[in-house]
Amino acid sequence: MSTTERPESTHDWWIYRGTGHPLQDTHLADRLPPPPPWRDFRRGDEPPAVDVPQDDAETDRRLGVELSFTAGHADRAEVDMVNAALYLRRPLLVTGKPGSGKSTLAYRISRELRLGRVLRWSVTSQTTLKSGLYDYDAIGRLQASQTHGSSSGGTGTGERPVGDFFRLRELGTAFLPRRLPRVLLVDELDKAESDLPHDLLSIFEDGEFLIPELARDARSAPVAEVFTADPGYTAQIENGVVRCSAFPVVIITSNGERDFPPAFLRRCLRLEMKDPGPAKLAAIVAAHALDPKHRAVLIEDFVTRRAALGGLPADKLLDAIFLATSGAYQPDDPSWPGLVEALWQHLNQQGH
């Protein structure tokens, strides 16, 4: 029996459906079963409910405002692997061509499961594990201490709290104790130095990390209130340890440009994203509320061009349809084919 012929009953275990439609009349906390014992990071009492910031504008920009996706548009392999990652509390390594929807997946999961703002950690060649966990303004703290000491006659009383000089970054914020997981997007891990995948193993396995500067002050200040990667939000850290309760939904994207260490791959689930077909492309266009005029012809031309080039990002189709339907450009203009040719160049094509 093929994947598309499986009876619906085989999908009863799905929590995530791949449509982007937010859960209705239910809550993830009521649907998600307990973790496997070896991936259970809960300790003691359940953490108190904490507001999670929303970012509907960014989600709408990524996914569109119209919910045009149906179960028929969902890729069964994608939905299976996302649900497996949810059940097993494992990171999901998503590979595929540029524009195949790897990063968008994180936003679709967050919207559908109502998990709030996506924590996006964009990786570069300069990225280190610490840079993803937290920032510490040691110079600012020293200057504040010196300024206060001189103004108070050296008594050292009333100094600014140590937490004022710390900010958790996206990776660190994702591991704060929550009742429900945050969605963490680790974008383009290919760009990192070779040590970063190895360094990530400890936090992915332990579900916690230490901030040494706060741990050293724990005797005088056992609880520090620090800033987080969510603008305007703070969190309290006890004894310098950040320890998750619900393991985050970790989506790691890769363009397949490098090999990752076997130990890292062993601890991740893996998903290969396929280029969206005509029906899914039509749903993507509809989701961005673009005028349907010329849509079918441009989608057909795009699919043909993508096949000839061996890959083409879906956002290039959106660009062409926007120009064709916004009144800025008319497809019957003699120069239109040349414009589309320029828009739909292969990513590695350098002007030829």
Reading the block at residue 178, the tokens are 């929550």
**Whether residue 195 is found in the same domain as residue 268:** yes
**Whether residue 207 is found in the same domain as residue 292:** no
Report d(CA 16, CA 223) in Å as an integer.
37
Note the Cα 98 to chain centre separation in Å. Answer: 16
Continuous segment of H or E residues that includes residue 309 = helix 295-309
Looking up tokens 């057909």, which residue turns up? 300
Of the listed ranges 37-41, 272-276, 331-335, the least confidently predicted one is 331-335
**CA terminus-to-terminus distance, the chain:** 46
**Whether residue 176 is found in the same domain as residue 118:** yes
Which of 251, 272, 293 is the endpoint of a domain? Answer: 272
Number of structural domains (the chain) is 2
Task: Say if 286 falls within a structural domain.
Answer: yes
**Whether residue 175 is found in the same domain as residue 230:** yes
pLDDT in tens, 212-266: 999 998 888 899 999 999 999 999 999 999 999 999 999 999 988 888 999 999 9
Mean pLDDT, the chain, whole residue set: 86
What is the arithmetic mean of pLDDT over 76-98? 95
Which of 217, 239, 272 is the endpoint of a domain? Answer: 272
> Do residues 172 and 132 lie in contact, with contact meaning Cβ atoms separated by under 8 Å?
yes
pLDDT in tens, 36-78: 999 999 887 778 777 889 988 998 888 887 666 676 677 899 9
More confident residue, 182 or 275: 182
DSSP string, 100-147: SSHHHHHHHHHHHHT--S-EEEE--TT--HHHHHEEE-HHHHHHHHHH
Of the listed ranges 142-151, 192-201, 205-214, 280-289, the least confidently predicted one is 142-151
**Whether residue 170 is found in the same domain as residue 294:** no
> Do residues 81 and 16 lie in contact, with contact meaning Cβ atoms separated by under 8 Å?
no
Name the residue range of residue 306's domain.
278-343
For residue 340, give the DSSP letter.
Answer: H
**Whether residue 81 is found in the same domain as residue 177:** yes
Coil, helix or strand at residue 7: coil
Instruction: Flag whether pLDDT at 135 surpasses 50.
Output: yes
Note the Cα 9 to chain centre separation in Å. Answer: 30
Instruction: Flag whether pLDDT at 154 surpasses 70.
Output: no
**Whether residue 186 is found in the same domain as residue 114:** yes
Looking up tokens 């890729």, which residue turns up? 75
Query: What are the Cα distances from residue 278, in Å, to 72, 163, 272, 319?
Result: 12, 51, 19, 16
Supply the pLDDT for residue 180: 93
Task: Say if 47 falls within a structural domain.
Answer: yes
What is the arithmetic mean of pLDDT over 290-304? 79
